Structure 1
Protein backbone atom coordinates (compact mmCIF):
# COMPACT_ATOMS: atom_id res chain seq x y z
CA UNK A 1 0.00 0.00 0.00
CA UNK A 2 0.90 3.66 -0.36
CA UNK A 3 0.53 5.11 3.15
CA UNK A 4 0.89 8.74 4.18
CA UNK A 5 1.98 9.39 7.77
CA UNK A 6 1.84 12.86 9.26
CA UNK A 7 3.89 13.21 12.43
CA UNK A 8 5.99 10.41 11.01
CA UNK A 9 9.18 11.58 12.70
CA UNK A 10 7.61 11.61 16.17
CA UNK A 11 7.63 8.86 18.79
CA UNK A 12 4.75 6.79 17.41
CA UNK A 13 5.26 7.72 13.77
CA UNK A 14 8.93 6.66 13.78
CA UNK A 15 8.10 3.28 15.29
CA UNK A 16 5.23 2.79 12.86
CA UNK A 17 7.48 3.63 9.91
CA UNK A 18 10.00 1.00 11.05
CA UNK A 19 7.23 -1.60 11.12
CA UNK A 20 5.74 -0.74 7.74
CA UNK A 21 8.54 0.35 5.45
CA UNK A 22 9.48 -3.19 4.41
CA UNK A 23 5.85 -3.98 3.56
CA UNK A 24 4.45 -0.69 2.23
CA UNK A 25 5.57 2.51 0.54
CA UNK A 26 5.53 5.18 3.25
CA UNK A 27 5.17 8.88 2.59
CA UNK A 28 6.22 11.10 5.50
CA UNK A 29 5.01 14.69 5.77
CA UNK A 30 8.00 16.51 7.26
CA UNK A 31 8.92 20.15 7.78
CA UNK A 32 12.59 19.27 7.26
CA UNK A 33 13.85 19.01 3.69
CA UNK A 34 17.07 17.25 4.69
CA UNK A 35 15.41 13.84 4.95
CA UNK A 36 16.71 11.30 2.43
CA UNK A 37 14.30 9.18 0.39
CA UNK A 38 14.72 5.44 -0.02
CA UNK A 39 12.87 2.90 -2.13
CA UNK A 40 9.98 2.47 0.33
CA UNK A 41 10.31 5.69 2.32
CA UNK A 42 9.56 9.08 0.77
CA UNK A 43 9.50 12.53 2.37
CA UNK A 44 7.31 15.46 1.36
CA UNK A 45 7.08 18.95 2.85
CA UNK A 46 3.57 19.72 1.57
CA UNK A 47 0.42 17.67 1.03
CA UNK A 48 0.18 19.25 -2.42
CA UNK A 49 3.17 17.12 -3.47
CA UNK A 50 1.08 13.96 -3.17
CA UNK A 51 -1.70 12.70 -5.44
CA UNK A 52 -4.41 11.53 -3.05
CA UNK A 53 -5.87 9.35 -5.80
CA UNK A 54 -2.81 7.14 -5.37
CA UNK A 55 -2.83 7.01 -1.56
CA UNK A 56 -4.37 3.92 0.04
CA UNK A 57 -4.37 4.99 3.70
CA UNK A 58 -3.41 7.91 5.92
CA UNK A 59 -2.23 7.92 9.54
CA UNK A 60 -2.53 11.44 10.94
CA UNK A 61 -0.38 11.84 14.06
CA UNK A 62 0.92 15.40 13.74
CA UNK A 63 0.47 17.96 16.50
CA UNK A 64 2.32 20.23 18.93
CA UNK A 65 3.07 18.22 22.13
CA UNK A 66 0.41 19.09 24.68
CA UNK A 67 2.61 18.98 27.79
CA UNK A 68 5.85 20.54 26.55
CA UNK A 69 5.17 24.10 27.69
CA UNK A 70 2.97 26.08 30.06
CA UNK A 71 -0.48 26.72 28.59
CA UNK A 72 -0.31 30.39 27.69
CA UNK A 73 -2.98 31.54 25.28
CA UNK A 74 -0.36 31.52 22.52
CA UNK A 75 0.70 27.96 23.33
CA UNK A 76 -2.89 26.75 23.54
CA UNK A 77 -3.50 28.20 20.09
CA UNK A 78 -0.40 26.41 18.74
CA UNK A 79 -1.58 23.11 20.26
CA UNK A 80 -5.00 23.48 18.62
CA UNK A 81 -4.01 24.82 15.22
CA UNK A 82 -1.21 22.28 14.72
CA UNK A 83 -3.92 19.61 14.86
CA UNK A 84 -6.93 21.33 13.38
CA UNK A 85 -5.43 22.96 10.29
CA UNK A 86 -3.67 19.87 8.99
CA UNK A 87 -6.60 17.57 9.72
CA UNK A 88 -8.98 19.91 7.92
CA UNK A 89 -6.66 20.00 4.90
CA UNK A 90 -6.40 16.21 4.86
CA UNK A 91 -10.18 15.83 4.94
CA UNK A 92 -10.59 18.32 2.09
CA UNK A 93 -8.05 16.54 -0.11
CA UNK A 94 -9.64 13.17 0.61
CA UNK A 95 -13.08 14.49 -0.36
CA UNK A 96 -11.72 16.00 -3.58
CA UNK A 97 -10.03 12.78 -4.72
CA UNK A 98 -11.78 10.66 -7.35
CA UNK A 99 -10.34 7.49 -5.83
CA UNK A 100 -9.70 8.56 -2.22
CA UNK A 101 -7.76 6.65 0.45
CA UNK A 102 -9.86 3.82 1.87
CA UNK A 103 -8.77 4.57 5.46
CA UNK A 104 -7.96 7.63 7.54
CA UNK A 105 -6.60 6.81 11.01
CA UNK A 106 -6.51 10.13 12.81
CA UNK A 107 -5.04 10.97 16.18
CA UNK A 108 -7.05 12.08 19.18
CA UNK A 109 -6.59 11.54 22.91
CA UNK A 110 -8.42 10.31 25.98
CA UNK A 111 -8.47 13.97 26.95
CA UNK A 112 -11.63 13.94 24.83
CA UNK A 113 -13.45 12.66 27.92
CA UNK A 114 -12.13 15.45 30.14
CA UNK A 115 -11.49 14.86 33.84
CA UNK A 116 -13.33 11.83 35.20
CA UNK A 117 -13.59 9.81 38.39
CA UNK A 118 -13.07 6.06 38.74
CA UNK A 119 -15.82 4.80 36.42
CA UNK A 120 -14.69 2.77 33.41
CA UNK A 121 -15.02 4.65 30.15
CA UNK A 122 -15.63 2.96 26.81
CA UNK A 123 -15.92 4.60 23.39
CA UNK A 124 -19.67 5.05 23.94
CA UNK A 125 -19.23 7.29 27.00
CA UNK A 126 -20.85 10.69 26.51
CA UNK A 127 -20.69 12.49 29.90
CA UNK A 128 -17.42 14.23 29.04
CA UNK A 129 -16.13 17.13 31.11
CA UNK A 130 -15.92 20.36 29.07
CA UNK A 131 -12.38 21.70 29.40
CA UNK A 132 -9.42 22.51 27.16
CA UNK A 133 -8.36 18.91 26.53
CA UNK A 134 -11.89 18.02 25.43
CA UNK A 135 -12.18 21.08 23.22
CA UNK A 136 -8.95 20.20 21.38
CA UNK A 137 -10.02 16.64 20.70
CA UNK A 138 -13.67 17.30 19.88
CA UNK A 139 -12.86 19.69 17.03
CA UNK A 140 -9.91 17.52 15.94
CA UNK A 141 -12.20 14.50 15.65
CA UNK A 142 -14.97 16.46 13.92
CA UNK A 143 -12.54 17.68 11.27
CA UNK A 144 -11.28 14.14 10.67
CA UNK A 145 -14.82 12.79 10.38
CA UNK A 146 -15.44 15.18 7.48
CA UNK A 147 -13.41 12.72 5.39
CA UNK A 148 -15.84 9.89 6.13
CA UNK A 149 -17.77 8.51 3.18
CA UNK A 150 -18.77 5.13 1.74
CA UNK A 151 -15.28 5.10 0.15
CA UNK A 152 -13.26 6.30 3.16
CA UNK A 153 -13.35 4.80 6.63
CA UNK A 154 -12.29 7.08 9.50
CA UNK A 155 -10.91 5.81 12.81
CA UNK A 156 -10.12 8.17 15.69
CA UNK A 157 -7.37 6.99 18.04
CA UNK A 158 -8.11 8.24 21.55
CA UNK A 159 -4.61 7.71 22.87
CA UNK A 160 -3.46 7.63 26.48
CA UNK A 161 0.08 7.82 27.89
CA UNK A 162 2.45 6.01 25.54
CA UNK A 163 5.31 4.30 27.38
CA UNK A 164 8.62 4.23 25.52
CA UNK A 165 12.32 4.25 26.25
CA UNK A 166 13.39 7.32 24.32
CA UNK A 167 10.48 9.73 24.38
CA UNK A 168 6.98 10.54 25.49
CA UNK A 169 5.84 10.94 29.08
CA UNK A 170 8.50 8.66 30.58
CA UNK A 171 11.28 10.87 29.27
CA UNK A 172 9.98 13.63 31.54
CA UNK A 173 9.18 11.38 34.48
CA UNK A 174 12.38 9.37 34.70
CA UNK A 175 15.01 11.94 35.82
CA UNK A 176 13.43 12.71 39.21
CA UNK A 177 12.48 9.06 39.76
CA UNK A 178 16.05 7.91 39.07
CA UNK A 179 17.24 10.40 41.69
CA UNK A 180 14.73 9.09 44.21
CA UNK A 181 12.75 12.32 43.95
CA UNK A 182 9.59 10.91 42.41
CA UNK A 183 6.27 10.85 44.18
CA UNK A 184 2.50 10.87 43.99
CA UNK A 185 0.90 13.88 42.29
CA UNK A 186 -2.06 15.44 44.07
CA UNK A 187 -4.35 12.87 45.66
CA UNK A 188 -2.79 10.02 43.71
CA UNK A 189 -6.28 8.64 43.12
CA UNK A 190 -6.57 9.97 39.55
CA UNK A 191 -6.43 7.22 36.94
CA UNK A 192 -3.72 7.00 34.31
CA UNK A 193 -4.57 5.17 31.09
CA UNK A 194 -1.41 4.04 29.33
CA UNK A 195 -0.03 1.78 26.60
CA UNK A 196 3.37 0.36 25.67
CA UNK A 197 4.73 1.78 22.40
CA UNK A 198 4.93 -1.71 20.85
CA UNK A 199 1.21 -2.23 21.47
CA UNK A 200 0.45 1.25 20.15
CA UNK A 201 2.14 0.47 16.85
CA UNK A 202 0.56 -2.97 16.68
CA UNK A 203 -2.93 -1.60 17.24
CA UNK A 204 -2.55 0.95 14.43
CA UNK A 205 -1.56 -1.91 12.13
CA UNK A 206 -4.56 -3.87 13.46
CA UNK A 207 -6.95 -0.97 12.82
CA UNK A 208 -5.62 -0.57 9.28
CA UNK A 209 -6.28 -4.24 8.51
CA UNK A 210 -9.67 -4.54 10.23
CA UNK A 211 -12.10 -2.72 7.98
CA UNK A 212 -15.01 -3.13 10.40
CA UNK A 213 -13.43 -0.76 12.92
CA UNK A 214 -14.46 2.86 12.55
CA UNK A 215 -15.11 5.95 14.63
CA UNK A 216 -13.56 6.37 18.07
CA UNK A 217 -11.10 3.70 19.24
CA UNK A 218 -9.63 3.87 22.75
CA UNK A 219 -5.89 3.32 22.27
CA UNK A 220 -4.97 2.26 25.81
CA UNK A 221 -4.04 -0.92 27.67
CA UNK A 222 -6.87 -2.85 29.37
CA UNK A 223 -5.77 -1.99 32.92
CA UNK A 224 -5.60 1.68 33.83
CA UNK A 225 -3.96 2.38 37.19
CA UNK A 226 -4.10 5.20 39.69
CA UNK A 227 -1.27 7.70 39.88
CA UNK A 228 -0.32 6.16 43.22
CA UNK A 229 0.05 2.70 41.68
CA UNK A 230 1.89 4.10 38.65
CA UNK A 231 4.30 5.89 40.98
CA UNK A 232 4.95 2.71 42.95
CA UNK A 233 5.53 0.62 39.82
CA UNK A 234 7.90 3.14 38.24
CA UNK A 235 9.88 3.55 41.46
CA UNK A 236 10.12 -0.23 41.76
CA UNK A 237 11.32 -0.49 38.16
CA UNK A 238 14.17 2.01 38.66
CA UNK A 239 14.88 0.66 42.16
CA UNK A 240 14.52 3.99 43.91
CA UNK A 241 12.18 5.27 46.62
CA UNK A 242 9.36 7.61 45.65
CA UNK A 243 8.89 9.67 48.77
CA UNK A 244 8.40 13.24 47.52
CA UNK A 245 4.75 13.86 46.68
CA UNK A 246 3.69 16.89 44.66
CA UNK A 247 0.66 18.51 46.34
CA UNK A 248 -2.04 19.80 44.02
CA UNK A 249 -1.31 23.40 44.98
CA UNK A 250 2.34 22.98 43.99
CA UNK A 251 1.39 21.43 40.63
CA UNK A 252 -0.91 24.37 39.93
CA UNK A 253 1.81 26.87 40.83
CA UNK A 254 4.39 25.13 38.64
CA UNK A 255 2.28 24.30 35.63
CA UNK A 256 -0.77 26.55 35.75
CA UNK A 257 -3.74 25.28 33.75
CA UNK A 258 -1.64 22.46 32.33
CA UNK A 259 -1.65 20.87 35.80
CA UNK A 260 -5.15 19.59 34.95
CA UNK A 261 -3.68 16.71 32.95
CA UNK A 262 -1.59 15.71 35.97
CA UNK A 263 -4.19 16.12 38.70
CA UNK A 264 -7.16 14.57 36.93
CA UNK A 265 -7.48 11.46 34.82
CA UNK A 266 -9.67 8.93 33.10
CA UNK A 267 -10.13 5.18 33.59
CA UNK A 268 -10.41 4.25 29.93
CA UNK A 269 -11.15 0.78 28.54
CA UNK A 270 -10.24 -0.32 24.97
CA UNK A 271 -13.59 -2.04 24.37
CA UNK A 272 -13.61 -1.83 20.57
CA UNK A 273 -10.13 -3.31 20.29
CA UNK A 274 -10.94 -6.11 22.72
CA UNK A 275 -14.22 -6.91 20.95
CA UNK A 276 -12.35 -7.02 17.62
CA UNK A 277 -9.85 -9.52 19.02
CA UNK A 278 -6.74 -7.37 19.44
CA UNK A 279 -4.17 -9.10 21.64
CA UNK A 280 -2.14 -6.85 23.92
CA UNK A 281 1.47 -7.83 24.36
CA UNK A 282 1.70 -5.78 27.55
CA UNK A 283 -1.70 -5.69 29.29
CA UNK A 284 -0.18 -5.01 32.74
CA UNK A 285 1.86 -1.97 33.74
CA UNK A 286 4.57 -3.97 35.52
CA UNK A 287 5.37 -6.08 32.47
CA UNK A 288 5.27 -3.00 30.20
CA UNK A 289 7.82 -1.14 32.35
CA UNK A 290 9.98 -4.25 32.69
CA UNK A 291 10.21 -4.50 28.90
CA UNK A 292 11.70 -1.00 28.63
CA UNK A 293 15.39 -0.20 29.07
CA UNK A 294 15.03 2.59 31.64
Structure 2
Protein backbone atom coordinates (compact mmCIF):
# COMPACT_ATOMS: atom_id res chain seq x y z
CA UNK A 1 0.00 0.00 0.00
CA UNK A 2 0.94 3.63 -0.41
CA UNK A 3 0.62 5.08 3.09
CA UNK A 4 0.84 8.78 3.89
CA UNK A 5 1.95 9.71 7.43
CA UNK A 6 1.60 13.21 8.84
CA UNK A 7 3.89 13.50 11.85
CA UNK A 8 5.94 10.57 10.66
CA UNK A 9 9.22 11.88 12.07
CA UNK A 10 8.01 11.92 15.70
CA UNK A 11 8.37 9.48 18.59
CA UNK A 12 5.67 7.08 17.35
CA UNK A 13 5.94 7.94 13.67
CA UNK A 14 9.55 6.78 13.29
CA UNK A 15 8.82 3.34 14.70
CA UNK A 16 5.62 3.07 12.70
CA UNK A 17 7.49 3.88 9.49
CA UNK A 18 10.01 1.11 10.17
CA UNK A 19 7.32 -1.51 10.75
CA UNK A 20 5.37 -0.52 7.64
CA UNK A 21 8.56 -0.61 5.54
CA UNK A 22 9.29 -4.12 6.84
CA UNK A 23 5.87 -5.12 5.51
CA UNK A 24 6.74 -3.83 2.05
CA UNK A 25 4.62 -0.67 2.03
CA UNK A 26 5.50 2.59 0.31
CA UNK A 27 5.65 5.48 2.80
CA UNK A 28 5.13 9.18 2.15
CA UNK A 29 5.90 11.43 5.14
CA UNK A 30 4.42 14.90 5.26
CA UNK A 31 6.92 17.28 6.83
CA UNK A 32 7.69 20.98 7.20
CA UNK A 33 11.40 20.34 6.65
CA UNK A 34 13.43 19.60 3.53
CA UNK A 35 14.40 15.94 3.61
CA UNK A 36 15.85 13.71 0.94
CA UNK A 37 13.79 10.71 -0.08
CA UNK A 38 15.38 7.30 -0.09
CA UNK A 39 14.18 3.81 -0.93
CA UNK A 40 10.50 3.34 -0.17
CA UNK A 41 10.30 6.51 1.94
CA UNK A 42 9.63 9.88 0.35
CA UNK A 43 9.25 13.24 2.10
CA UNK A 44 6.74 15.84 0.97
CA UNK A 45 6.60 19.37 2.37
CA UNK A 46 3.28 20.65 3.68
CA UNK A 47 1.77 23.35 5.91
CA UNK A 48 4.23 25.87 4.49
CA UNK A 49 3.41 28.73 2.15
CA UNK A 50 3.61 27.70 -1.48
CA UNK A 51 3.52 23.93 -0.90
CA UNK A 52 1.15 21.68 -2.86
CA UNK A 53 1.50 18.20 -1.33
CA UNK A 54 -1.56 16.87 -3.15
CA UNK A 55 0.43 16.59 -6.38
CA UNK A 56 2.66 13.97 -4.71
CA UNK A 57 -0.08 11.98 -2.97
CA UNK A 58 -1.97 10.49 -5.88
CA UNK A 59 -3.11 6.89 -5.41
CA UNK A 60 -2.60 7.00 -1.64
CA UNK A 61 -4.33 4.03 0.01
CA UNK A 62 -4.27 5.27 3.61
CA UNK A 63 -3.63 8.40 5.65
CA UNK A 64 -2.23 8.33 9.19
CA UNK A 65 -2.37 11.62 11.08
CA UNK A 66 0.03 11.90 14.03
CA UNK A 67 0.72 15.61 13.52
CA UNK A 68 0.53 18.20 16.26
CA UNK A 69 2.58 20.07 18.86
CA UNK A 70 3.54 17.65 21.66
CA UNK A 71 1.58 17.92 24.91
CA UNK A 72 4.72 16.77 26.77
CA UNK A 73 6.92 19.68 25.74
CA UNK A 74 6.81 23.08 27.37
CA UNK A 75 4.63 24.55 30.08
CA UNK A 76 0.88 24.68 29.54
CA UNK A 77 0.50 28.43 29.41
CA UNK A 78 -2.18 29.99 27.22
CA UNK A 79 0.16 30.30 24.23
CA UNK A 80 1.33 26.68 24.37
CA UNK A 81 -2.23 25.40 24.78
CA UNK A 82 -3.22 27.39 21.70
CA UNK A 83 -0.33 25.83 19.75
CA UNK A 84 -1.36 22.33 20.85
CA UNK A 85 -4.97 22.92 19.81
CA UNK A 86 -4.40 24.91 16.62
CA UNK A 87 -1.70 22.55 15.27
CA UNK A 88 -4.10 19.61 15.40
CA UNK A 89 -6.97 21.48 13.79
CA UNK A 90 -4.75 22.96 11.06
CA UNK A 91 -3.17 19.61 10.15
CA UNK A 92 -6.57 17.90 9.94
CA UNK A 93 -8.02 20.74 7.83
CA UNK A 94 -5.08 20.48 5.46
CA UNK A 95 -5.56 16.72 5.12
CA UNK A 96 -9.20 17.35 4.21
CA UNK A 97 -8.14 19.89 1.59
CA UNK A 98 -5.71 17.37 0.12
CA UNK A 99 -8.32 14.59 0.10
CA UNK A 100 -10.82 16.84 -1.70
CA UNK A 101 -8.35 17.28 -4.58
CA UNK A 102 -7.53 13.58 -5.01
CA UNK A 103 -9.36 11.72 -7.77
CA UNK A 104 -8.80 8.44 -5.95
CA UNK A 105 -9.62 8.77 -2.26
CA UNK A 106 -7.74 6.80 0.41
CA UNK A 107 -9.78 4.06 2.04
CA UNK A 108 -8.96 4.97 5.64
CA UNK A 109 -7.87 7.85 7.86
CA UNK A 110 -6.22 6.79 11.11
CA UNK A 111 -6.15 9.81 13.37
CA UNK A 112 -4.20 10.15 16.61
CA UNK A 113 -6.25 10.90 19.71
CA UNK A 114 -5.88 10.51 23.48
CA UNK A 115 -7.56 9.01 26.53
CA UNK A 116 -7.57 12.56 27.90
CA UNK A 117 -11.05 12.75 26.39
CA UNK A 118 -12.28 10.79 29.43
CA UNK A 119 -12.77 12.62 32.76
CA UNK A 120 -10.25 11.93 35.51
CA UNK A 121 -11.63 9.39 37.99
CA UNK A 122 -10.41 6.94 40.61
CA UNK A 123 -13.47 4.70 40.28
CA UNK A 124 -14.85 4.89 36.73
CA UNK A 125 -13.85 2.30 34.12
CA UNK A 126 -13.78 3.67 30.58
CA UNK A 127 -14.16 1.79 27.30
CA UNK A 128 -14.84 3.05 23.80
CA UNK A 129 -18.57 2.90 24.66
CA UNK A 130 -18.14 5.56 27.36
CA UNK A 131 -19.66 8.91 26.38
CA UNK A 132 -18.38 11.10 29.21
CA UNK A 133 -16.06 13.91 28.10
CA UNK A 134 -13.53 15.70 30.30
CA UNK A 135 -14.39 19.34 30.89
CA UNK A 136 -10.83 20.66 30.64
CA UNK A 137 -8.30 21.75 28.04
CA UNK A 138 -7.22 18.26 26.97
CA UNK A 139 -10.76 16.91 26.94
CA UNK A 140 -11.95 19.74 24.70
CA UNK A 141 -8.94 19.41 22.40
CA UNK A 142 -9.44 15.69 21.88
CA UNK A 143 -13.22 16.01 21.50
CA UNK A 144 -12.92 18.74 18.85
CA UNK A 145 -10.09 16.89 17.07
CA UNK A 146 -12.07 13.67 16.77
CA UNK A 147 -15.19 15.47 15.61
CA UNK A 148 -13.23 17.28 12.94
CA UNK A 149 -11.54 14.08 11.72
CA UNK A 150 -14.88 12.25 11.71
CA UNK A 151 -16.08 14.49 8.88
CA UNK A 152 -13.99 12.41 6.48
CA UNK A 153 -16.64 9.69 6.73
CA UNK A 154 -18.86 11.84 4.51
CA UNK A 155 -16.51 10.87 1.66
CA UNK A 156 -16.91 7.16 2.40
CA UNK A 157 -13.51 6.99 4.10
CA UNK A 158 -13.18 4.81 7.19
CA UNK A 159 -12.11 6.87 10.19
CA UNK A 160 -10.30 5.45 13.24
CA UNK A 161 -9.38 7.51 16.32
CA UNK A 162 -6.46 5.99 18.21
CA UNK A 163 -6.92 7.12 21.81
CA UNK A 164 -3.38 6.72 23.11
CA UNK A 165 -2.74 6.28 26.80
CA UNK A 166 0.63 7.01 28.42
CA UNK A 167 2.98 5.70 25.73
CA UNK A 168 6.15 4.21 27.24
CA UNK A 169 9.39 4.35 25.27
CA UNK A 170 13.01 5.34 25.67
CA UNK A 171 13.17 7.96 22.91
CA UNK A 172 10.24 10.10 24.00
CA UNK A 173 7.01 10.25 25.91
CA UNK A 174 6.74 10.24 29.71
CA UNK A 175 8.98 7.32 30.73
CA UNK A 176 12.44 8.97 30.68
CA UNK A 177 11.26 11.68 33.09
CA UNK A 178 9.35 9.20 35.26
CA UNK A 179 12.35 6.87 35.55
CA UNK A 180 14.98 9.57 36.16
CA UNK A 181 14.26 10.08 39.92
CA UNK A 182 14.63 6.33 40.48
CA UNK A 183 17.95 6.28 38.66
CA UNK A 184 19.03 9.05 41.05
CA UNK A 185 17.76 7.07 44.07
CA UNK A 186 15.03 9.62 44.87
CA UNK A 187 12.02 7.90 43.30
CA UNK A 188 8.67 7.72 45.03
CA UNK A 189 4.93 8.13 44.79
CA UNK A 190 3.74 11.17 42.82
CA UNK A 191 0.70 12.91 44.28
CA UNK A 192 -1.78 10.70 46.11
CA UNK A 193 -0.61 7.59 44.25
CA UNK A 194 -4.25 6.56 43.84
CA UNK A 195 -4.56 8.03 40.33
CA UNK A 196 -4.71 5.54 37.47
CA UNK A 197 -2.04 5.23 34.79
CA UNK A 198 -3.40 3.67 31.60
CA UNK A 199 -0.13 2.98 29.84
CA UNK A 200 1.03 1.17 26.70
CA UNK A 201 4.45 0.09 25.40
CA UNK A 202 5.37 2.13 22.34
CA UNK A 203 5.74 -1.00 20.20
CA UNK A 204 2.24 -2.13 21.11
CA UNK A 205 0.99 1.36 20.28
CA UNK A 206 2.61 1.15 16.86
CA UNK A 207 1.38 -2.41 16.31
CA UNK A 208 -2.15 -1.24 17.19
CA UNK A 209 -1.97 1.39 14.43
CA UNK A 210 -0.92 -1.28 11.92
CA UNK A 211 -3.73 -3.52 13.24
CA UNK A 212 -6.27 -0.74 12.63
CA UNK A 213 -4.82 -0.15 9.18
CA UNK A 214 -5.25 -3.81 8.22
CA UNK A 215 -8.56 -4.49 9.99
CA UNK A 216 -11.57 -3.03 8.20
CA UNK A 217 -13.79 -3.78 11.21
CA UNK A 218 -12.13 -1.03 13.21
CA UNK A 219 -13.71 2.39 13.00
CA UNK A 220 -14.39 5.18 15.45
CA UNK A 221 -12.57 5.36 18.79
CA UNK A 222 -9.98 2.72 19.70
CA UNK A 223 -8.36 2.83 23.14
CA UNK A 224 -4.62 2.21 22.76
CA UNK A 225 -3.76 1.17 26.30
CA UNK A 226 -2.51 -2.05 27.82
CA UNK A 227 -5.13 -4.41 29.31
CA UNK A 228 -3.59 -3.90 32.77
CA UNK A 229 -3.64 -0.25 33.91
CA UNK A 230 -2.13 0.42 37.35
CA UNK A 231 -2.31 3.10 40.00
CA UNK A 232 0.54 5.61 40.15
CA UNK A 233 1.92 4.18 43.41
CA UNK A 234 2.24 0.75 41.76
CA UNK A 235 3.68 2.26 38.60
CA UNK A 236 6.45 3.82 40.67
CA UNK A 237 7.06 0.67 42.68
CA UNK A 238 7.44 -1.31 39.46
CA UNK A 239 9.99 1.17 38.08
CA UNK A 240 11.93 0.86 41.34
CA UNK A 241 11.75 -2.92 41.26
CA UNK A 242 12.92 -3.18 37.64
CA UNK A 243 15.79 -0.74 38.23
CA UNK A 244 16.60 -2.17 41.68
CA UNK A 245 16.13 1.27 43.22
CA UNK A 246 14.20 2.37 46.31
CA UNK A 247 10.65 3.74 46.14
CA UNK A 248 10.50 6.04 49.11
CA UNK A 249 10.69 9.75 48.23
CA UNK A 250 7.11 11.05 47.79
CA UNK A 251 6.41 14.05 45.57
CA UNK A 252 3.43 16.02 46.93
CA UNK A 253 0.78 17.29 44.53
CA UNK A 254 1.52 20.94 45.31
CA UNK A 255 5.14 20.49 44.18
CA UNK A 256 4.04 19.08 40.81
CA UNK A 257 1.55 21.93 40.38
CA UNK A 258 4.27 24.45 41.21
CA UNK A 259 6.70 22.92 38.71
CA UNK A 260 4.33 21.99 35.88
CA UNK A 261 1.32 24.27 36.32
CA UNK A 262 -1.80 22.99 34.55
CA UNK A 263 0.23 20.26 32.86
CA UNK A 264 0.57 18.59 36.29
CA UNK A 265 -2.86 17.08 35.58
CA UNK A 266 -1.10 14.61 33.27
CA UNK A 267 0.51 12.92 36.30
CA UNK A 268 -1.76 13.92 39.19
CA UNK A 269 -4.99 12.84 37.52
CA UNK A 270 -5.76 9.73 35.54
CA UNK A 271 -8.33 7.38 34.07
CA UNK A 272 -8.77 3.62 34.15
CA UNK A 273 -9.10 2.85 30.44
CA UNK A 274 -9.65 -0.59 28.93
CA UNK A 275 -8.81 -1.41 25.27
CA UNK A 276 -12.14 -3.18 24.66
CA UNK A 277 -12.14 -2.80 20.86
CA UNK A 278 -8.62 -4.16 20.43
CA UNK A 279 -9.34 -7.09 22.76
CA UNK A 280 -12.64 -7.90 21.05
CA UNK A 281 -10.97 -7.88 17.64
CA UNK A 282 -8.23 -10.26 18.78
CA UNK A 283 -5.25 -7.91 19.06
CA UNK A 284 -2.40 -9.58 20.96
CA UNK A 285 -0.32 -7.32 23.19
CA UNK A 286 3.38 -8.08 23.18
CA UNK A 287 3.75 -6.34 26.55
CA UNK A 288 0.48 -6.85 28.47
CA UNK A 289 1.99 -6.32 31.94
CA UNK A 290 3.81 -3.27 33.26
CA UNK A 291 6.67 -5.37 34.54
CA UNK A 292 7.29 -6.89 31.10
CA UNK A 293 7.12 -3.47 29.43
CA UNK A 294 9.48 -1.75 31.86
CA UNK A 295 11.90 -4.67 31.87
CA UNK A 296 12.11 -4.41 28.10
CA UNK A 297 12.55 -0.64 28.12
CA UNK A 298 14.73 -0.06 31.18
CA UNK A 299 17.07 -3.03 31.31
CA UNK A 300 17.88 -3.89 27.69
CA UNK A 301 20.81 -2.13 26.04
TM-score, length-scaled by structure 2: 0.93
Distance 1:5 1:172 in 2: 27
What corresponds to 1:248 in structure 2? 253
SS at match of 1:168: coil
Segments of 5+ residues of structure 2 without an aligned counterpart are none
Equivalent residue pairs, number = 293
Deviations 1:230-259 (A, max 9, x none): 000011111111211111111111111111
SS at match of 1:100: coil
SS at match of 1:146: helix
* 2:125 is aligned with 1:120: yes
Pairing of 1:148-227 with structure 2 (within 5 A): 148-149=153-154, 151-227=156-232
1:151 shift after superposition = 2.8
41, 61, 64: which one pairs with 1:59? 64
Aligned partners of 2:116 and 2:134 also within 8 Å: no
Deviations 1:63-96 (A, max 9, x none): 1111211111101001111111101221233244
Distance 1:207 1:119 in 2: 26
What corresponds to 1:26 in structure 2? 27
Distance 2:71 2:179 in 1: 18
Aligned partners of 1:116 and 1:129 also within 8 Å: no
What corresponds to 2:13 in structure 1? 13
1:53 shift after superposition = 4.2
Q: Which aligned runs of 4 or more in structure 1 are off by greater than 4 angstroms?
A: none
1:46 shift after superposition = 1.4
80, 84, 88: which one pairs with 1:83? 88
Distance 2:129 2:38 in 1: 42
1:150 shift after superposition = 5.8
Distance 1:185 1:230 in 2: 10
TM-score, length-scaled by structure 1: 0.96
1:105 shift after superposition = 0.3
Aligned partners of 1:118 and 1:191 also within 8 Å: no
Distance 2:181 2:132 in 1: 35
* 2:151 is aligned with 1:146: yes
79, 104, 108: which one pairs with 1:103? 108
Distance 2:66 2:119 in 1: 20
Distance 1:96 1:224 in 2: 43
278, 292, 298: which one pairs with 1:287? 292
40, 49, 71: which one pairs with 2:53? 49
Which is further off, 255-264 or 217-226?
255-264
Segments of 5+ residues of structure 1 without an aligned counterpart are none
SS at match of 1:174: helix
Distance 2:80 2:160 in 1: 27
Distance 1:172 1:144 in 2: 31
1:199 shift after superposition = 0.8
Aligned partners of 1:28 and 1:43 also within 8 Å: yes
